[in-house]
Chains A and B, each alone.
Chain A
Amino acid sequence: MTIQMNSGKDCARAWEIMPWALQSTAPREQCEWLMHHLAQCEACSAEFAQQSRLRCALSLPTDVLVDANSGLKHLLERLDAPEPDATPVRFWSSGSRLTRALAAAVLVQAIGIGALGVRLWSDQAPRYHTLSQAALLEPAGALRVVPATGMKLADWNRLLHDLDLRVIDGPNDVGAYAVVPAGSTSSSASVLRRLRADRDIRLAEPVDNTP
């Protein structure tokens, strides 16, 4: 943006100086130069007169009436009034509902993630067990029994009945059954001895002793 001045650079310089000359804050030599220019330039002289009038108009008291005494009284009353309480209360009271809703959502999410983590952790138990681990399926006192291939079902049932045994697993790949005493009438040792004595039983071993 440029200004077309009637007298070129001098008028532009005069334009720059005018507000500060009117304020009496421009250096003395600038003021003297301006006065000299104004005496020669009708346009700048008119502009300066208009700016002087502008300054005069702006120096008039405002026409919007505001009572100083009343204002001062209100100010002093305000100083005496108790100050509003702590910031945190104000935070929650003036904080938006959105903030509280977001905080609640984050809390719910944290609880959900925690529960999910616990569940996943518990599911991560290995689906195998090592030889050093105790057998999970067979209870204490269980026996592993391998009947002969020619043993009749009736003889097998009679033997189980006589020894008061109950099949809890099997047969496995090698034809072994896991049996446990159904009652406490006989000791494990005597049951084992009688099983081994039967000619149709090829193997009878306590599970606990199985390597």
Chain B
Amino acid sequence: MNEATGDVDSRDRMLIQRMATGDRAALETLYRAYHGGLCRFLSRLTRRADLIDEIVNDCFWIAWRKAGSFHGDSRVSTWIMGIAYRCGLKALRQRGDEPVDDYALREGRGPSHDPDEDRELRDWLGEGLKHLSADQRIVVELVYGVGNSLEEVATIMQAPVGTVKARLFHARIKLRNVLPTLAGDPPAQQENLS
């Protein structure tokens, strides 16, 4: 954990402590601090904005109620991501939905101020993520997007570290094979199953 991450976690712990005493201002601060990251994280599970909004709502409702039982065994961000992940799976299960497999659905939904470079990068990423399973997308998001360690991802997904490591490995293999092609380059190395 670097210094900046440590500062953020210290701030978050104070907010959680205040939430445990019923301080709604602390809840609002934490909500705004995590909203963007959670939405991006959950967008790897579903592309439905209304469902993401509902899952974030469920996540913070639980965090509010459970703030008093947070003992600091993990970073606050890991704790909240774990809640959001489980809420996301539950919401999809209740609706009989599967995690999204079609990143093409995002076409036309990008913000109007999206610079060309970002749009190109999003498209490139979207095409690559289409080849991954939902669990693999989540692991890639948590490791590359959020910056979590394997142990933290295992805590969030409530899975063994070995399982997380395998998911990351397979995701990277797939991405290595498809992303250069999407960028117009031939893949540097090819997966070899033996």
Contacts and interface: CB of A to CB of B under 8 A. Distances in A.
Tell me, yes or no, whether A binds B.
Answer: yes
Interface stretch (A55-63, A123-131, A135-143, A192-200): A55-63
Interface in B68-97: none
Contact of A58 (B35, B56, B111, B141): B141
Instruction: Provide the main secondary structure of the chain A interface.
Output: helix
Contacts of B61: 75, 78-79
Contacts, number: 128
A62 B39 contact: yes
Nearest to A42: B188
B188 A58 contact: no
A70 interface: yes
Contacts of B57: 71, 74-75, 78
A67 B28 CA distance: 14
B183 to A, nearest CB: 8
Which of under 10, 10 to 19, 20 to 34, or 35 or more describes the interface residues of B?
Answer: 35 or more
B124 A24 contact: no
A181 B28 CA distance: 104
A24 B35 contact: no
A3 B192 contact: yes
A19 B109 contact: no
A72 B121 CA distance: 30
A23 B147 contact: yes
Interface of A: 1-6, 15, 19-20, 22-25, 43, 46-47, 50-51, 53-68, 70-72, 74-76, 78-79
